[in-house]
Structure 1
Amino acid sequence: MSGRIFQNVVLQLKENTDRTIGVIDGEGVVIACSELSMIGQRWAEHVPVVNGASGAMVSSDGKTFKALNGWNTQFDYAVFVFGDNDVSRTVCAMSTVALNSAKSYYEEKHDRGSFVKDIISDNIMLGDIYMRAKELRVTADVPRGVFVVRSLKKGESVPTDVIQSMFPDRQNDFVLSVGEGDVVLIRQMPEGAGIKELNKIASTMEENLRGGGASAVVGIGTIATHLRDLAKSYKEAQIAIEVGKVFDTEKYIINYENLGIGRLIYQLPTTLCEMFLQEVFKKNPIDALDKETLFTIHKFFENNLNVSETARKLFVH
């Protein structure tokens, strides 16, 4: 968040009090102050005290602090006023109200979630991603997993609050409502994470939703190593769900990387597929095939048209 927004409010407050007022960030750096010479100073010793107050007003070394509204257990920004008497506490409380309002207004205009939603929806120019990411303090080049969660019951939406409660770190993770009832989770992943870690996260979400009475399917895209890759991964997660409707109807977690030949067939034009079926099944429709033959065909596709692997899975020669 821009320190200029806080500084403008602090300078207005300065006109109505003789107390020194300012704002520190989560690392204790003074990012706004009525005494301009103090901007940039680091007061790391006050950070544990403010965090320990859990949002309440607290005094430390002759100063009064109060954390601004935030989503994390640790504060992102806190107001400080010199002095630890009743007057300082009153000024601190009033300053907090004004600065919280400024913070909310700024976040509505420059919301991180809206920024990420614009990326996955291809509503932002590639060159603007870098500039906005820097402004909003969103790290650009860390690995992120993209998950699309869709309700299996037509007309119902996925409960966003359940997903949000599972991933409360709004600095690094994003839970977004997209489209008609879909919820997208963009989760920061550790270096070297792969399919196993992605599937584990998806399984946890699906189990929690099912435990709460909501049935959903989770589509997983490939890991995005940069913000610019989020849109591609999001589309892959959507494709995973759509292909799963056809080829993996009994699965609730579908990873794009495991779709195999199914994703190629899905992307073929419908008319071309219909022509192929008409040519192959000239005499009898595909529905005329017995269950054992259909089962064998499904296994053949599941194993990417590998004859020997399919035979091994079916325990036949």
Structure 2
Amino acid sequence: MSIQRTLQKCMEDWKQISNLDFCLLQEDNSVFVTTCQKRLPSLNKLADFRSDPALCIANSTYCLYKILDRDELLYILIVWGSSENASTIGELAVCQIRSLIEAYSEKNDKNAFMQKLLLGSYNEVEAFNKAKKLHVSSTCQRAVFLVETKQTGDEHALTMIRNIFSARTHDFITSVDDKGIIIVRELVSTETYANLEATAHMLVDMLGSEAMTQAWVSYSNVADSLKELANAYKEAKMALEIGKIFYSEKNVFGYRNLGIGRLIYQLPVEICEMFIEEIFNGESLDAIDGETLNIIRTFFENNLNLSETSRQLYVHRNTLVYRFEKIQKKFGLDLRTFEDAMTFKLAMLVSGYLRYTN
């Protein structure tokens, strides 16, 4: 919740309790929050109050208070009323507003610190000193989750994720661009990678059922200290990118579970193109029709078991054999043998990577 909405709710509560009206003015005398539409003091009176060393002045209609932060004037609070009760409530309101602003400022400072930390903007000493100042633990274990939704900059998804982790006060939820939501999660000693995987699946399921949006979630290896978080963020980014290229049927990608996709991702494009040309004799995967590709994928998922593939696809076994013989005739690969099946599987993954890079 923004500081403006928080202050508005507080003032409405104060009005309900005290039957007084409140208004907070910004530096240019524009209304920041208010509980009424009463006429404001004249610009001259407000200017005189700003230049006056007094922190409060009152007349028969209203009281004016200065809201300061480190001797800097942030706002002017107006409390309409002339009784002693109004003066006391005004002073209490000033204390409450200052506390809210201080808490909000600290939260923003922590958020900015974490963003810069993830981007590698601090050296080890700077990170340690800044964390100590902001009361952020520099030694506990953390993991970085990266959430991407179908809609870029999805505010509803961000709000929902904040609500999910609202009870976890040491977690950070932020973003460094419009493409994804970053969760820096503090871990306890008993948590394992299985727990991280379960958390990622929970986020996908919750966003799908509650926010009605498709989501992809990646997570890093465990970072043992603050200085490792920048690398953990890179791991989460790489996991999301590799996962969406090579494992498009999945929604959760752990950096330590990227398999052969991680190897292909780091190969030069020229090597990949040479490999595809060698396997497909100058053609590409697009030369195979969609139905045949679906049969091949199902065949691989069933560990090269023709009978199980036939049963799942409701296709006669002889039809599958005919399709595979056509592939063998065209590319010289018999997918019913392990070595040729492995070669074709690699070619499918490399083709997906080349399609992504182009």
Structure 2 residue aligned with 1:204 = 202
- Kept in 1, the 8 Å contact 2:170–2:186? The answer is yes
For residues 7-44 of structure 1, give each alpha carbon's deviation from its aligned partner in whole angstroms, at most 9, with x where no partner exists: xxxxxxxxxxxxxxxxxxxxxxxxxxxxxxxxxxxxxx
Distance in 2 (CA, whole Å) between partners of 1:249 and 1:231 is 26
- Kept in 2, the 8 Å contact 1:174–1:187? The answer is yes
Structure 2 residue aligned with 1:258 = 257
| 1:282-293 mapped onto 2 (5 Å cutoff) | 282-288=281-287, 290-291=292-293, 292-293=295-296
For residues 178-231 of structure 1, give each alpha carbon's deviation from its aligned partner in whole angstroms, at most 9, with x where no partner exists: 212310011111114222100111111111111121111001111111111111
| 1:61-100 mapped onto 2 (5 Å cutoff) | 91-100=91-100
| 1:219-230 mapped onto 2 (5 Å cutoff) | 219-230=218-229
Moved more, 259-268 or 98-107: 98-107
- Kept in 1, the 8 Å contact 2:117–2:230? The answer is yes
- Kept in 2, the 8 Å contact 1:160–1:177? The answer is no
In 2 relative to 1, CA 262–162 (structure 1 residues): closer, same or farther, beyond 3 Å?
same
Q: 1:125 aligns with which of 123, 126, 142?
A: 123
- Kept in 2, the 8 Å contact 1:218–1:241? The answer is yes
- Kept in 1, the 8 Å contact 2:204–2:215? The answer is yes
Is 2:183 the partner of 1:193?
Answer: no
Distance in 1 (CA, whole Å) between partners of 2:110 and 2:276 is 48
Q: Which has the larger radius of gyration?
A: 2
In 2 relative to 1, CA 274–190 (structure 1 residues): closer, same or farther, beyond 3 Å?
same
TM-score normalised by length of structure 2:
0.54
Distance in 2 (CA, whole Å) between partners of 1:106 and 1:201 is 28
Aligned-pair distance for 1:279?
2.8
Distance in 1 (CA, whole Å) between partners of 2:213 and 2:238 is 22
Is 2:145 the partner of 1:157?
Answer: no
In 2 relative to 1, CA 92–269 (structure 1 residues): closer, same or farther, beyond 3 Å?
same
Distance in 1 (CA, whole Å) between partners of 2:270 and 2:243 is 20
- Give the letter for the 1:251 counterpart: K
SS of the residue corresponding to residue 273 of structure 1 reads helix
In 2 relative to 1, CA 260–105 (structure 1 residues): closer, same or farther, beyond 3 Å?
closer
Distance in 1 (CA, whole Å) between partners of 2:96 and 2:166 is 24
Unaligned runs of 5+ in 1: 1-85, 301-306, 312-317
SS of the residue corresponding to residue 174 of structure 2 reads strand
In 2 relative to 1, CA 286–93 (structure 1 residues): closer, same or farther, beyond 3 Å?
closer
Structure 1 residue aligned with 2:142 = 144
Distance in 2 (CA, whole Å) between partners of 1:123 and 1:112 is 14
Aligned-pair distance for 1:141?
1.2
Distance in 1 (CA, whole Å) between partners of 2:129 and 2:144 is 22
- Give the letter for the 1:224 counterpart: A
SS of the residue corresponding to residue 206 of structure 2 reads helix
Distance in 1 (CA, whole Å) between partners of 2:196 and 2:256 is 11
Distance in 2 (CA, whole Å) between partners of 1:208 and 1:91 is 44
- Kept in 2, the 8 Å contact 1:194–1:223? The answer is no
For residues 57-76 of structure 1, give each alpha carbon's deviation from its aligned partner in whole angstroms, at most 9, with x where no partner exists: xxxxxxxxxxxxxxxxxxxx
Structure 2 residue aligned with 1:15 = none
Distance in 1 (CA, whole Å) between partners of 2:121 and 2:170 is 21
Unaligned runs of 5+ in 2: 1-84, 304-337, 343-358
Structure 2 residue aligned with 1:276 = 275
- Give the letter for the 1:166 counterpart: I
- Identical-pair percentage: 28
User: Aligned residue pairs: how many?
Assistant: 217
TM-score normalised by length of structure 1:
0.60
* Larger helix share, 1 or 2: 2
In 2 relative to 1, CA 217–104 (structure 1 residues): closer, same or farther, beyond 3 Å?
closer
In 2 relative to 1, CA 269–238 (structure 1 residues): closer, same or farther, beyond 3 Å?
same
Distance in 1 (CA, whole Å) between partners of 2:97 and 2:282 is 77
- CA RMSD between the two structures: 3.1
Distance in 1 (CA, whole Å) between partners of 2:181 and 2:302 is 31
In 2 relative to 1, CA 237–208 (structure 1 residues): closer, same or farther, beyond 3 Å?
same
- Kept in 1, the 8 Å contact 2:172–2:183? The answer is yes
Distance in 2 (CA, whole Å) between partners of 1:104 and 1:286 is 54
SS of the residue corresponding to residue 175 of structure 2 reads strand
- Give the letter for the 1:182 counterpart: G
Aligned-pair distance for 1:147?
0.6
